[in-house]
Amino acid sequence: MIVALRAAEFFAYHGFYPEEQHTGNCFIVDIEVEFTPTASSGLHTDDINDTVNYEELYDIANKHMQQPQKLIETLATLILEDVKARYGFLDRINISIKKQNPLAGAKVKYTEIIVGYNK
């Protein structure tokens, strides 16, 4: 089973350069997790505790988006570690962070990093 949070938008102050940390930027976060439901879990019980709550995925991302980092690689890794700690039964986690308008004066829609975990 796959549960995904797609295109969560945040305005934050991540960036290597001081001007990025001062002016901020728009970031897009995707979180995709995969797990194997058991016969007594999510698909049959209709209990949110037997699956991954995408609202909690958003809360984890939001917490880290509010804590500036120089590298979005670091940011994505911190989000991944929190998701993994909260949901120890996951088989796979992918975190994608897109930084919109990353280069002043250049025509680039976004840069993206992806970090992943496979059990």
User: Hey, is 103 helix, strand or coil?
Assistant: coil
Q: Give the predicted TM-score (pTM) of the model.
A: 0.92
Whether residue 90 contacts residue 35, with contact meaning beta carbons closer than 8 Å, is answered with yes
Q: Hunting for tokens 């879990």 — which residue is that?
A: 41
Q: What is the DSSP letter of 99?
A: E
Map out the domains of the chain with their CATH numbers: 2-118 (3.30.1130.10)
Q: What is the pLDDT of residue 37?
A: 83
User: Hey, is 60 helix, strand or coil?
Assistant: helix
What digits encode the pLDDT tens for the residues 25-84? 999 999 999 999 876 665 677 788 888 999 999 999 999 999 999 999 999 999 999 999
Q: What is the pLDDT of residue 49?
A: 81
What digits encode the pLDDT tens for the residues 3-32? 999 999 999 999 999 988 999 999 999 999
- Distance CA(115)–CA(107), nearest Å, equals 25
